[in-house]
Amino acid sequence: VQLVESGGGLVQAGGSLRLSCAASGFTFDEYTVGWFRQAPGKEREGISCTNTRDGLTYYADSVKGRFTISTDNAKNTAFLEMNTLKPEDTAVYYCAADHWKGFGCGHQTYEYEYWGQGTQVTVSS
């Protein structure tokens, strides 16, 4: 199982970025996928997750209304569309995956076995 993130970069406040998470070794239709981020000196936090079995999604309050998670099962890729970015969104962003557990998706780090290497997102003010 391998996850590879891409799409990070430097953007001005108010701008947008689209992160991608390409998966190999498994298919998203049997897994939950989550997006996490870790800012310097802070713990890794779950910001969004979804699965394609029941379609339920989760967004942390800090990103709700600005970020959108999606998957393209044909390409085995997950996305995180980030709009109206703020300086406090600056962090390393990680995608993660684990077997779907029958309902919804988790947003805690211990709920995921497979992790990507992370991609840096920097939002300037």
pLDDT at site 111: 95
DSSP state at residue 108: S
Contact 116, 95 (CB under 8 A): yes
Residue 112 has what pLDDT?
96
Q: Taken in order 89, 71, 36, 19, is the CA torsion positive or negative? A: negative
pLDDT in tens, 1-43: 899 999 999 999 999 999 999 999 988 888 999 999 999 999 9
Name the percent of the chain lying above pLDDT 90.
Answer: 86
Other beta carbons less than 10 A from residue 90's beta carbon: 18
